[in-house]
Chain A
């Protein structure tokens, strides 16, 4: 190209016929697999499984595996919603206590009104979705980071949980509701056991897998999934091309609200009564499960399958320590090690994948 040449001649659009030969070979299957966000979690899950399989004989039994899956599911349903939110670029620190809030609301409302428990379940859903909506609106209207906004709602919810429970029951736990109308049918939906090949598996495990499938489909195969990645990856670019970023984020917070309601209902109908102080600290486990599953803290990257694997690893470590007859106090130490290793593996994997 010379400056003196007339513009048309100087810059002809390259014709397809003159297309340069591809300079890079097709990336191998292994390389492409490495580019998936959940690959690190898959490797870790297999490693943890083999480890406890070797050191804890009880771990090998089918019953134990069902318990591991159950542990994974109660954490995992929340971790799925939290991972979607994280891919969308936001945090929700109120997720842990929101589960308790939902269970408390359903329980106390039904008990105080001596109504059918399904009334409480319905109202709890409205409350949980509203908490998500308020979190989302606060984020957008104030422009504050979601870390701060949800930290504030975490503290407020925790205070409400304790204060209202004590006000209504003079206790920090709710009254048992297992003799009330509709309890049996609600328990069948939220907390029943299903026998698979002679092993009792809690129904939450199946919900967990179904939600993971749904979340994966939404993320990778729908418009909304595209918007989630875009909202977390680059908010300004997304907005510039017409993605409704605010709507996407509010919907994600409400998804966390829905998951909190679902897990809250499970806990209520599994244990009949709810402790008002429960749930604190769980929000970090959800985030950790999502991070182990390959979600970037900065948003725009991650997967639902990864969050599923992250929660599964949690279940294995949690139960594996018990089956290996170790002191359960070691659990948190293991979680810390897992988190560190997972983040390092994810970092390494992404570098490998980016290298072409």
Chain B
């Protein structure tokens, strides 16, 4: 088990609730490529843990391990205090760990309520006339969506006619209803506009209010800072920052995310290129774009 010097100790204030999901020094090798190394992560009920990082930083690998698509090679993956090794997403789901993928959430041509219950349909009556309990499914969908603050005029409309943000939100409400305790959101705001991102962030907060542990994967520090309680920044497969909200400012977060020293180097390189006026570029360290 490797330890990471950059990892800050978890503040005592966060220790009020036991973590549902805990990673201790988790690492992953793809052949001889070290994709992840020494990852520590705590996911507690009612808290949003943000995982930030650039492309290739290891975010996807990390989610895949937590959601059961891949297995870790080093360290411990602990659920409810017991070390586990998940072999497929179904096992993760049974432990209450649900993943909402950016574009893998819904079947566009099917009505909202059918999407909500897809794969876990409610039925009534004995076989061979066992049929869908449409009434109950529609009611439940309506209730669950309202509880998450989502209001739709017509549950019969194909889910593809909803906006990207609304679709994500239905997928989140769905995961919550089917017993998720930990919700993994894979870049839910990446393909969305400003307003739509706001919608999704609102539902992330709503999920937290309902006592879920949320893992929010993003590369947007602004979105992360709006809802996050804890921030983990990944860089080249290792934790660059692992801090509670109180210990980090948005500026620091943005700077970590942008890879402060790398930006300085980039600026130096750009100075060699004709036509780029480096003097006009803002100072990297003290000017996060807002």
Contact = CB atoms under 8 A, between A and B. Distances in A.
Query: Do they bind each other?
Result: yes
Interface of A: 1, 3, 7-8, 10-16, 19-20, 22-24, 26-27, 217, 221-223, 225-226, 229-230, 233-234, 236-238, 240-243, 300-301, 354, 356
Given A1-B198, A223-B121, A229 B227 contact: no
A12 B118 contact: no
Contacts of B109: 229, 233, 300-301
B201 A230 contact: no
B177 interface: no
Contact of B130 (A222, A226, A243, A354): A222
Given A27-B154, A233-B110, A12 B205 contact: yes
Contacts of A229: 107, 109-110, 114
Interface string B96-119: 000001001111111000100111
B101 A240 contact: yes
Given A217-B131, A222-B131, A240-B105, 18 more contacts: A3-B226, A7-B205, A7-B245, A11-B227, A14-B202, A16-B149, A19-B146, A22-B153, A222-B123, A223-B123, A225-B132, A233-B109, A234-B106, A238-B118, A238-B119, A242-B90, A300-B108, A300-B109
A241 B119 contact: yes
25 contacts: A1-B198, A1-B226, A7-B226, A10-B227, A11-B226, A13-B203, A16-B149, A20-B151, A22-B153, A24-B153, A221-B131, A222-B130, A222-B132, A226-B110, A226-B117, A226-B132, A229-B107, A233-B110, A237-B104, A237-B118, A238-B107, A238-B119, A240-B89, A241-B119, A242-B90
B209 interface: yes
Interface in B212-233: 222, 225-229
B184 interface: no
A243 B48 CA distance: 29
B130 A237 contact: no
Given A11-B227, A226-B132, A236 B201 contact: no
Contacts of A236: 104
Given A11-B227, A242-B90, A242-B120, A233 B202 contact: no
Nearest to B89: A240
Contacts of A3: 222, 225-226, 250, 290
Contacts of B149: 13-16
A227 to B, nearest CB: 8
Contacts of B90: 242
Interface string B123-146: 100000011101000000000001
Interface string B166-181: 0000000000000000
Contact of A226 (B114, B201, B206): B114
A245 to B, nearest CB: 10
A222 B114 CA distance: 11
Nearest to A12: B205
B161 interface: yes
Contact of B202 (A8, A13, A223, A354): A13
A13 B205 contact: yes
A19 B153 CA distance: 11
Contacts of A223: 121, 123, 130, 132
User: 4 tightest A-B contacts by CB?
Assistant: A14-B149, A11-B205, A13-B206, A242-B119
A121 B109 CA distance: 40
A230 B119 CA distance: 9
Given A222-B131, A241-B118, A230 B226 contact: no
B148 interface: yes
Contacts of B227: 7, 10-11
A92 B169 CA distance: 37
Nearest to B47: A7
Nearest to A37: B109
Nearest to B209: A13
Contacts of B93: 242
Given A7-B227, A11-B227, A13-B209, A243 B119 contact: yes
A297 B282 CA distance: 54
A300 B154 CA distance: 20
Contacts of A26: 153-154
Nearest to A6: B245
B250 A233 contact: no
Contacts of B290: 3
Contacts of B146: 16, 19
Nearest to A15: B149
B215 to A, nearest CB: 15
A15 B205 CA distance: 13
A27 B109 CA distance: 18
Interface centre among B109, B225, B226 (most CB of A within 10 A): B109
Contacts of A356: 157, 161
Contacts of B110: 226, 229-230, 233, 300
Given A1-B198, A7-B227, A240-B89, A230 B107 contact: yes
A223 B93 CA distance: 21
A239 to B, nearest CB: 9
Contacts of B105: 237, 240
A233 B119 CA distance: 14
Contacts of A234: 106-108
Nearest to A301: B109
Contacts of B245: 7
A14 B148 CA distance: 8
Interface string B45-88: 00010000000000000000000000000000000000000000
A118 B216 CA distance: 63
